[in-house]
């Protein structure tokens, strides 16, 4: 396949698919696998892996119907399959890379992050596996630091056009043809720039594995950003200052069935910005099985412990199953009501505005948005077309494809526009 800077056309097609509303509910509920033979995908992770890139890649490919295996490249240790990714995000892998030697995959895709990319590079079993895969004509990809620090280091981008995180471009070996684009496809190699390009990257991989029609079907319910490279926007009404003394204290509850892209975006972006984010499980243990059953998260504490703390903001990810659990967790609902009564900020994305905030009266007199197929559940639907809506101390958003904007809007309200723009540029979101 000829080399292409795939991002802009891919986003236009994805935006068109989103506007059509076709197959959205079915694809969102089932992962869009249909009756096609599942492709086997390996997503290796290691200490320091960028969690947004790993989770987004696994989630989007799973939505297409792929059988995704998340495998740790870390040496065996006391923590078993637990991987400490960047920004304190703890993931539980499905397997070890060393146990998968000889297994066949249709795609091997490397998330970035530092030192995650170097830790992947130094895994000899992974290097051997990826090289054998490529020699047999297999599709492979990498994002952020990994194209330069891992693939190029292994000599796997010779003579190919490729991109990576901008500050790593100079680390490409002389045999690589560097291209400053959000996503680059050249033959069987797909590369991309960073966390803010992760959805575009994953959709490009879906298109290579399954074709354009499947890519558009998967893209639809994500509600991807229709245009990149410009400043994000917020629909704000009844503007008030979100006050916090010192470092913002943020509670992110999680449940079995929470949407991983939304949860990890909140955790990653807010911690990048310097907020103290507490991830609290509303289940009976700390390990959470996310909506796509591919990224098992380990929370920082149980909700009972978090109820003894004070937070400047409480913000919930979506995912229908997770939202329903939130709605039925009295301690969390009581926390949200206390937050609202104290005029302190709270918010939700995707299914949670409709299934948590609305039924408990927390949207009364407020404008909000939600996952479009669920927006009819909101009493006031007048702001539902917006990607992020702030009404006083309430913030809501639509879907996984709006999660980065949602997180950046929170950074802006807590720490200012300049800080949010700085983080957006760091993410390569704009």
Please give the backbone phi and psi of residue 82, each rounded to the nearest 5 degrees, phi first.
-75, 130
Report the 10 Å Cβ neighbour count for 125: 16
Distance CA 111, CA 44 (A): 8
Distance CA 386, CA 226 (A): 13
Report the 10 Å Cβ neighbour count for 314: 24
3-state class (DSSP) for residue 217:
helix
Q: What's the Cα-to-Cα distance from 422 to each of 145, 193, 253, 396, 400, rounded to whole Å? A: 19, 16, 26, 22, 22
Answer whether the bond into residue 115 is a cis peptide, omega within 30°: yes
Please name the residue that has the structure tokens 């992974």: 126
Distance CA 364, CA 367 (A): 9
Distance CA 294, CA 253 (A): 19
End-to-end Cα, the chain, rounded Å: 28
Q: Is 350 a catalytic residue?
A: yes
Distance CA 325, CA 70 (A): 26
DSSP string, 370-398: --GGGGGGSS--TTTTSSEEEETTEEEE-
Distance CA 288, CA 53 (A): 19
Among candidate residues 164, 225, 244, 350, the one labeled active-site is 350
Please name the residue that has the structure tokens 């992962």: 31
Distance CA 78, CA 109 (A): 26
Residues assigned a catalytic role = 350
């Amino acid at each position: 396949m000829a080399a292409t800077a795939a991002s802009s056309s891919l986003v236009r097609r994805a935006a068109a698919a989103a506007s059509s509303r076709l197959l959205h509910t079915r694809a969102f509920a089932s992962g869009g696998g249909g009756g096609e033979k599942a492709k086997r995908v390996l997503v290796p992770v290691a200490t320091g892996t960028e969690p947004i890139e790993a989770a987004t890649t696994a989630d989007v490919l799973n939505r297409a119907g792929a059988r995704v295996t998340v495998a740790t490249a870390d040496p065996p240790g006391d923590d078993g399959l637990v991987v400490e990714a960047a920004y304190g995000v703890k993931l539980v892998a499905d397997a070890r890379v060393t146990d998968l030697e000889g297994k066949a995959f249709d795609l091997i895709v490397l998330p970035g992050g530092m030192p995650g990319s170097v830790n992947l590079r130094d895994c000899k079993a992974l290097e051997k596996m990826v090289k054998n895969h490529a020699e047999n004509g297999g599709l492979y990809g990498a994002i952020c630091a990994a194209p330069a620090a891992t693939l190029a280091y292994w000599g796997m981008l010779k003579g190919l056009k490729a991109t990576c995180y901008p500050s790593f471009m100079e680390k490409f070996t002389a045999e690589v043809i560097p291209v400053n684009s959000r996503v680059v496809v050249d033959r069987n190699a797909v590369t991309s720039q960073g966390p803010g390009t992760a959805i575009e990257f994953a959709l490009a991989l879906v298109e290579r594995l399954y074709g354009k029609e499947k890519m558009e079907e998967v893209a639809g319910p994500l509600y991807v950003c229709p245009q990149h490279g410009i400043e994000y926007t917020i629909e704000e009404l009844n503007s008030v200052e979100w006050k916090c003394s010192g470092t913002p204290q943020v509670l992110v509850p999680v449940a079995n069935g929470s949407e991983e892209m939304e949860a990890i975006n909140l955790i990653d972006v807010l911690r990048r910005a310097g907020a103290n984010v507490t991830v609290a499980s509303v289940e009976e243990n700390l390990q959470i099985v996310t909506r796509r059953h591919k990224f098992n998260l380990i929370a920082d504490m149980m909700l009972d412990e978090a109820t003894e703390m004070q937070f400047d903001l409480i913000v919930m990810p979506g995912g229908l199953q997770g939202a329903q659990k939130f709605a039925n967790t009295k301690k969390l609902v009581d926390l949200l009501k206390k937050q609202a009564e104290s005029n302190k900020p709270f918010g939700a994305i995707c299914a949670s505005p409709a299934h948590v905030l609305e039924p408990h009266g927390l949207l009364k007199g407020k404008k909000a948005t939600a996952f479009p197929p669920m927006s009819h559940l909101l009493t006031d639907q007048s702001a539902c077309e917006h990607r992020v809506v702030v009404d006083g101390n309430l913030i809501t958003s639509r879907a996984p494809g709006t999660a980065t904007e949602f997180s950046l809007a929170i950074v802006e309200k807590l720490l200012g526009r300049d800080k949010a723009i700085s983080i957006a540029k760091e993410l390569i979101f704009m």
